[in-house]
Amino acid sequence: MQKLTNITEEHKRWFAAISSPEHTNIALVSCFVDGAPTAAIAVVTEDGPGYKVTPLFVAITSEMILTDHEGVRVEEPEQSTIECLVDSAAGIYTAQAFLTRYDMTLWGVSEEDQKILRGEPNGVGSEHYDETWARVLDTAETTDAEGKKWWLHQDCDLFAVREDHDFEEVE
């Protein structure tokens, strides 16, 4: 009979360790697998005067071929063309959440606009706040590693929308 899982008892112990707040020696490390760049979740322990890094789980690379237990290839999901950056729970603080979570230089947001949106010096809702946020929503853009442009769109939540996203008409 074919084994239905490749998960070993050691895998289970390591998973319990990395999901426990008690273990502070777990790190995300940059590494290579068969020459391909990737990252790993690893245990870092003292080893004499230095440290020993023991990989536990390795991130999938584009060169890896994943299959299920029957040998059927598992395909990568297609990248989404729209991503939620800040959900509507942020309310009037959506701009501040965007500023603190993302690199504004990548989005082309000026230092002056960032100051106004942070509420400096008069707080959120100051004289130029609304027009500044509207300008950022209209002009901010970033380019991903594939050369695709992304823009901002706010409809309660704040979204990043890729240039090839197809907004369907809702009737």
Q: What is the CA angle 37-42-44, rounded to 5? A: 125
CB atoms under 10 Å from CB of 160, counted, come to 23
Residues 71 and 88 in one domain: no
Q: How far apart are CA 16 and CA 53, in angstroms?
A: 18
pTM for the full predicted model: 0.54
C-beta separation of 30 from 56 below 8 A: no
Residues 66 and 119 in one domain: no
Residues 43 and 58 in one domain: yes
Q: Which domain holds residue 90?
A: 82-162
Q: pLDDT tens digits, residue range 122-162?
A: 656 667 888 999 999 999 999 988 899 999 999 999 999 99
Q: pLDDT tens digits, residue range 45-92?
A: 898 999 999 888 888 877 777 887 788 887 766 778 999 999 999 888
